[in-house]
Amino acid sequence: MDMNDMIRKKRDGGKLTKKEIDDFITGITSGEIPDYQTSAFLMAVFFMHMDEEETFLLTDAMMHSGAVADLSDIPGIKTDKHSTGGVGDKTTLIAAPIAAAAGVPVAKMSGRGLGYTGGTIDKLEAIPGFRTKLTMTEFKSLVKENGIAVMGQTEDIAKADKILYALRDVTSTIEDPSLIASSIMSKKLASGSDAILLDVKCGDGAFMHTRGSAEQLADILVKMGVSAGRRTAAIISNMSQPLGNAVGNSLEVAEAIDVLKGKGPADITEISTMLAGAMIYLGCKAKTPEEGYAAAEEIINSGAGLAKFRKFVSAQGGDPAITEDVTIMGTAAASIELVSDTDGIVQDLSAEKTGEASQHTGAGRATKESDIDLDAGILLRKKAGDAVKKGETLAVLYGDEEKIQCAAKELRDAYFIGQKQPSPRKLILEKLGL
């Protein structure tokens, strides 16, 4: 294949063949195609797009560019969940143990946070002793014994995605729907689960800022999963303000435990229950999605979700006492309060700006190589719709003294305080396949 011809074809709006796409993925994985040509190709895709068929072919080629996990020796319908990335999104820590408590095997490979979005692996590593690096054999036997295991994505899953994602990140080509869809689904399909639930976030704290683009992404993700023979569904949820009150790794683990105890904030409880219920349905432990949601609620109320979380933590080397004493995760070096300089009502709290402020407390990474402070982050005291008085605390920031002083200035810009009561926000915007 002549890479120059392929770039030109896409640049001029042409449709790529299976052979061209397969050769491209083989070429980037072997290192034969140089980064400058791959980058030019990504920009051509960004402007001229790929149709559904090309996107499916690209996903399939990327999926087979590395190892494909075989979970067939684990009994049951192994069910995975994936979020397209958000701020304060600790739903996996809640929904996965709930689904496992309902008898759905959860064998999940997760990622780390990047930029202002968090990642499940970082959050789990805030738990003292918790091991996220497992061999495939350990991973599978944990799922067989406890019904749940979560590990970091192995290097050999969807190798082409690692190359493409790194180049997309530095060439402003992240936001193309075909590139996002192939990146997500190549990894999910290679991870080997039988059922996949996609939580597509929509709003200023998500890749997809508009409802239309979130719907387009959700639609193609579901079609891809179904055509690959997996039970697949999607929930489109609002990411215009952070989920829950905690943003930052150990703070989010503590909040997830509160939700499992039935005393978490309403928004994160609602979305986690819905995701868990959908997983229970996809894993065929409920006849309808509604039956799944009711089962998830009951699992929180009975304490079975919390008990499964404790078992999951201890099976992966973590200290299960965390559910009774979250202070064992350690404390940040310093904290400061951000206070309101006016009376009013919070009209809006930007998820993106809150995520950036949290990243700058030390809780998030600027690049894949950055070190993070697992105890840094933000606890929000006021969110959209809350009344606030001058001098009242809007949020508390945790981390290194100097960093949180700067982050507090950024967080002030995330709050928009006015006089009107804003209209209530819908959290769950749409469901596909549920």
Q: Is 355 in the site for ligand URA (CB under 6 A)?
A: no
- Binding residue (CB under 6 A) for ligand URA from 40, 69, 109, 184: 184
CB 354 within 8 A of CB 106: no
Asked if 168 is an active-site residue, the reply is yes
Asked if 187 is an active-site residue, the reply is yes
Asked if 375 is an active-site residue, the reply is no
- Binding residue (CB under 6 A) for ligand URA from 173, 178, 183, 354: 183
Give the per-residue contact string, 59-98, with ligand URA (x = CB under 6 A; - = no). Answer: -------------------------xx-------------
Q: Is 244 in the site for ligand URA (CB under 6 A)?
A: no
Q: Is 305 in the site for ligand URA (CB under 6 A)?
A: no
Distance CA(152)–CA(157), nearest Å, equals 11
Rounding to the nearest 10 degrees, give the CA dihedral for residues 68, 69, 75, 77. Answer: -60
Min dist. Cβ of residue 214 to ligand URA (A): 12
Distance CA(430)–CA(55), nearest Å, equals 23
Cβ closer to ligand URA: 111 or 344? Answer: 111
User: What type of residue sits at position 14?
Assistant: G
Cβ closer to ligand URA: 82 or 403? Answer: 82
Q: Which of 9, 112, 168, 310 is catalytic?
A: 168
Min dist. Cβ of residue 207 to ligand URA (A): 6
**By CB under 6 A, what part of segment 202-241 binds ligand URA?**
207
Q: Which of 81, 159, 187, 360 is catalytic?
A: 187
**By CB under 6 A, what part of segment 358-397 binds ligand URA?**
none
Could you tell me how many helices (H) and strands (E) the chain has, helices first? 16, 13
Using Cβ positions, the residue closest to ligand URA within the complex turns out to be 183
Region for 117 from its dihedrals, namely left if φ exceeds 0, alpha if ψ lies in -120 to 50, beta otherwise? beta
Contact region with ligand URA (CB under 6 A), list: 100-108, 176-184, 241-249, 269-277: 176-184
Asked if 425 is an active-site residue, the reply is no
Percent of the chain that is helix, strand, coil (3-state, to 5)? 50, 15, 35
Min dist. Cβ of residue 85 to ligand URA (A): 5
Q: What are the residues whose beta carbons fall under 8 Å from the beta carbon of 226, sequence distance 6 or more?
A: 232, 433
Asked if 209 is an active-site residue, the reply is no
User: What type of residue sits at position 219?
Assistant: D
Contact region with ligand URA (CB under 6 A), list: 178-186, 276-284, 332-340, 420-428: 178-186
Name the residue among 112, 433, 86, 411 with its Cα closest to residue 238. Answer: 86
Q: Is 349 in the site for ligand URA (CB under 6 A)?
A: no
Q: For residue 265, give Cα distances in angstroms to 54, 252, 257.
A: 42, 12, 11
Cβ closer to ligand URA: 180 or 233? Answer: 180
Q: What are the residues whose beta carbons fall under 8 Å from the beta carbon of 8, sequence distance 6 or more?
A: none
DSSP string, 114-132: BTTB--HHHHHHTSTT---
CB 79 within 8 A of CB 104: yes
Contact region with ligand URA (CB under 6 A), list: 57-65, 180-188, 218-226, 292-300: 180-188
Rounding to the nearest 10 degrees, give the CA dihedral for residues 201, 205, 210, 212. Answer: -20
Min dist. Cβ of residue 180 to ligand URA (A): 4
Q: Which of 9, 10, 78, 82 is catalytic?
A: 82
Binding-site ranges for ligand URA (CB under 6 A): 84-85, 180, 183-184, 207
Task: Give me the active site residues, please.
Answer: 82, 161, 168, 183, 187
